[in-house]
Amino acid sequence: MSKKTIAEGLNGLLATPAPETTQAPTVANNKPAATKQVTYNLNAELLERVRYVAFFSHKKNNAIVAEALEKFVTEWEQANGKIPVTL
């Protein structure tokens, strides 16, 4: 038996079959509607605190930051008036 045949047999046994889909998944398909990727610079201590909260809340860091920003903007709007947004 040749090495090629053995390797093919082992690869066939060890490989996981690809799921059958009609459309290949992309990053855009996995993102929630109306989101946009952004980058911010954060203090290292604040980032660690966000990670801590996310870990113990069983949420992603992004979800914690989004919730905090949503709360901040909502409170700001209550004090200063609604912000007009057009997308």
pTM listed for this prediction: 0.59
Could you read off the pLDDT tens digit of each residue along the chain, which spans 87 residues?
Answer: 566 667 677 666 676 655 555 554 454 555 556 788 999 999 999 999 999 999 999 999 999 999 999 999 999 999 999 999 887
User: How many angstroms separate the first and last alpha carbons of the chain?
Assistant: 64
DSSP code at position 22: S
Asked if residue 16 belongs to a domain, the reply is no
Structure tokens at 31: 């993102």
Structural domain harbouring 78:
37-87
Asked if residue 47 belongs to a domain, the reply is yes
Asked if residue 58 belongs to a domain, the reply is yes
Asked if residue 8 belongs to a domain, the reply is no
Query: Closest by alpha carbon to 78, among 86, 70, 67, 66?
Result: 70
Asked if residue 24 belongs to a domain, the reply is no
Residue 5 region by backbone torsions, left for phi larger than 0, else alpha for psi between -120 and 50, else beta: alpha
Q: What total of structural domains would you count in the chain? A: 1
CA 1 to chain CA centroid, Å, is 47
